[in-house]
């Protein structure tokens, strides 16, 4: 049963997550203005972006409250979709530079 304190704790939890996401955006801003190598900057930015995406999915899309079976279903499906997308990217690159052969 809902108590009067529960909605306030929910708002506080989402506010903390939101502030943490803002802090991570600030970290990305700082990384962008550090004169780092290309690969090192890419790895840093992708790591922070992965943490941000995980927090957004877990809390703002309410997946943190779901059962474990949902995760065991979604993770393999997502990996499958990404692998299938990887199969067609080479065709799209080939079609971008497609040249007709002269007869």
Express each pLDDT in 31-85 by its tens digit: 999 988 889 999 999 999 999 998 998 888 887 778 888 878 888 998 999 898 8
Which residues have C-beta within 8 Å of that of residue 68, sequence separation ≥ 6? none
d(CA 47, CA 53): 10
For the cut 70, the answer to whether the pLDDT of residue 101 exceeds it is no
pLDDT of residue 95: 66
Rg of the chain's alpha carbons, rounded to an integer?
Answer: 21
Would you place residue 87 in the very low, low, confident or very high pLDDT band (cuts 50, 70, 90)? confident
């Amino acid at each position: 049963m809902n108590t009067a304190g529960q909605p306030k704790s929910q708002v506080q939890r989402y506010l903390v997550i939101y502030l943490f996401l803002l802090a991570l955006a600030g970290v990305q801003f700082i990384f962008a203005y550090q004169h780092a190598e290309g690969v090192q900057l890419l790895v840093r930015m992708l790591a922070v972006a992965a943490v941000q995406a995980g927090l957004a999915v877990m809390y703002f899309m309410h997946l943190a409250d779901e059962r474990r079976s949902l995760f065991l279903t979604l993770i393999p499906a997502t990996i499958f979709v990404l692998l299938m997308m990887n199969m067609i990217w080479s065709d799209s690159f080939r079609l971008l530079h497609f040249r007709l052969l002269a007869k």
